[in-house]
Structure 1
């Protein structure tokens, strides 16, 4: 049985924006899927909400909001070279990563403390400290709400790219990810390419003998030191994508700005540090009314209290215009705006 209710979403989004859904239904298990499709047909718009960590919610949502709360983790199979682990979409991402480390299913530890749910992770193709989610995904199971059918998609079908996937280009509310399967290799080796990890005291001392638990703990410590806790200061994590530019564009920028922070990509392009660009433009720690830029990480926009989606949009646009004028680089917003 599905129950539709009106719901204040202020505590359901990590930015803490004032927002209200006139119709919200909770998805808890696969047995609800057919009824959920029938319900969805009665609304013009449907919005699937996970942990609310990558959204900018309007004050009033007319869409049917499907709050994903399904739980469960299981070992599907084990071979000589890998574990195949499945997690339901409503599982808390960080808790899932921690439980995998506890069980010896390794390979996700660099993605610790990223807010959100397991089901939302493939949509954004989350990544951090040298690991992209697409490297670990075996398949994604998703329900097509319009066609009432369950589909299992391999990593190739998900069309993963930098902070992007097939799901981000589909109409909002068409797909509900129900479960994700991860292939975690037994031939594990710590991924310590990022300077923050290499220079961390514990990992530097451990070197090649670093354990997954040490990597997990180090990532958590670094993220807590650099990023605000959404429970204390509303935020959606990294608000802008790191822009990718051609080698020629990189060389021109580097010539004009010798301290430019960038990371070479396998195809020869360069990924610029958006936080550095914003910092150099003088935005770190600045406020515009109830919103502002975090004083320790310029890539994070924060809600100091009472902010709305419009406040966030105005700040983001002002920063984009300033960075474009100074560096001729266009910043792209990561969180999805939901009206």
Structure 2
């Protein structure tokens, strides 16, 4: 366990926002988390209540210096937990880079996560956001996770049902509601995550960009590595590299509406991009809504909307968290005034 004071957070958030942590603790194992909870840094009950868990910082907007204790999760490790006739169970430490972990599973001959390639962040953050892309959500491949209760120090394990997964949502994004509240935001520190990769492997290809790749290449029965390479190429063509242009990936969730609401929007804007869902609702492309309101390429201060993908907000150099959120709120207002739809941000704002 390493404790540092007055730590620059710019390298630890993909937006590249300049801010500092008053105190930052790096933990590389569950044992070090336990050590932290028995340390002087943890003795202040108020500080303990407000402690902020930091993973890869890829889904984060920092609006100022962080005074509460920051816990930087750097727990490493990859292993095969089980291999049976029905599938593989693979495990990653919470601090592992997500994309590197996906690539490693394929290198070992364990397919199933290929559609989730190149999503920024860490393994530990993946169930918090219930990350998803190109027809696959994390909950489709989730097995279980280990975590530590930051209030009691008790270790616990959760299965998929207990994680309360929803669209870019989980129990880890909701605050506890009283003594019996199920929310774990700010309370659980995830240490390890396990994934269920079923046999026989079946490709997930029902997504327009992947269908285009099949048509372009003439490969209509791609293997998992081919899908991985396609997804990487698609994401690189659409989304800016955080190492080059600060961003947090998709900034808003794709909203869902009733068929009646969708029909009303289509009557006014026939080109609206929409997808029918299994439950009968309709998902609208938030990027299209933002673009239709004229925001692509526009800026507020040093924060802007990416020229190639309106769903992505970027740091054009020196942007503050306040500028990012001012831009986000202006976009929300425009979309609501034109379409009657409230866009919900994906990143955590601190």
Once the two structures are superposed, residues 63-91 of structure 1 have per-residue CA deviations (whole angstroms, 9 ceiling, x without a partner) of: 11011111100001111110011110000
Name the stretch that deviates more: 3-12 or 127-136.
3-12
1:45·1:63 contact (CA, 8 Å) conserved in 2? Answer: yes
Cα distance in 2 between the residues matched to 1:136 and 1:333: 24
Task: Tell me which of 312, 322, 332 is aligned to 1:320.
Answer: 332
Other-structure match for 1:191: 204
Other-structure match for 1:115: 120
Task: Tell me which of 328, 344, 349 is aligned to 1:332.
Answer: 344
Task: Tell me which of 225, 238, 253 is aligned to 2:265.
Answer: 253
- Residue 213 of structure 1 aligns to a residue whose secondary structure is helix
Q: TM-score, normalised by structure 1?
A: 0.97
1:202·1:214 contact (CA, 8 Å) conserved in 2? Answer: no
**Aligned structure 1 segments of 4 or more residues deviating by more than 4 angstroms:** 201-204
Other-structure match for 1:6: 6
Other-structure match for 2:37: 37
1:2·1:36 contact (CA, 8 Å) conserved in 2? Answer: no
Query: What is the CA distance between 1:4 and its match in structure 2?
Result: 3.6
2:298 is the counterpart of 1:286: yes
1:40·1:46 contact (CA, 8 Å) conserved in 2? Answer: no
Task: Tell me which of 237, 240, 258 is aligned to 2:249.
Answer: 237
Cα distance in 2 between the residues matched to 1:201 and 1:194: 11
2:179 is the counterpart of 1:179: no
Cα distance in 1 between the residues matched to 2:150 and 2:140: 27
1:203·1:214 contact (CA, 8 Å) conserved in 2? Answer: no
Matched positions, count: 337
Task: Tell me which of 162, 168, 177 is aligned to 1:163.
Answer: 168
Cα distance in 1 between the residues matched to 2:118 and 2:272: 27
Other-structure match for 2:23: 23
Task: Tell me which of 206, 210, 214 is aligned to 2:226.
Answer: 214
Q: TM-score, normalised by structure 2?
A: 0.94
Given the superposition, is the C-alpha separation of residues 60 and 265 from structure 1 closer, same or farther in structure 2, using an over 3 Å criterion?
Answer: same
2:64 is the counterpart of 1:51: no
Cα distance in 2 between the residues matched to 1:190 and 1:167: 29
Cα distance in 1 between the residues matched to 2:28 and 2:216: 39
2:63·2:320 contact (CA, 8 Å) conserved in 1? Answer: yes
Once the two structures are superposed, residues 166-191 of structure 1 have per-residue CA deviations (whole angstroms, 9 ceiling, x without a partner) of: 11003643110000010101211111
- Residue 199 of structure 1 aligns to a residue whose secondary structure is helix
Query: What is the CA distance between 1:45 and its match in structure 2?
Result: 1.3
1:243·1:273 contact (CA, 8 Å) conserved in 2? Answer: yes
Name the stretch that deviates more: 9-18 or 29-38.
29-38
Cα distance in 1 between the residues matched to 2:2 and 2:312: 37
Other-structure match for 2:320: 308
Cα distance in 1 between the residues matched to 2:73 and 2:331: 33
1:36·1:145 contact (CA, 8 Å) conserved in 2? Answer: no
Cα distance in 2 between the residues matched to 1:251 and 1:140: 41
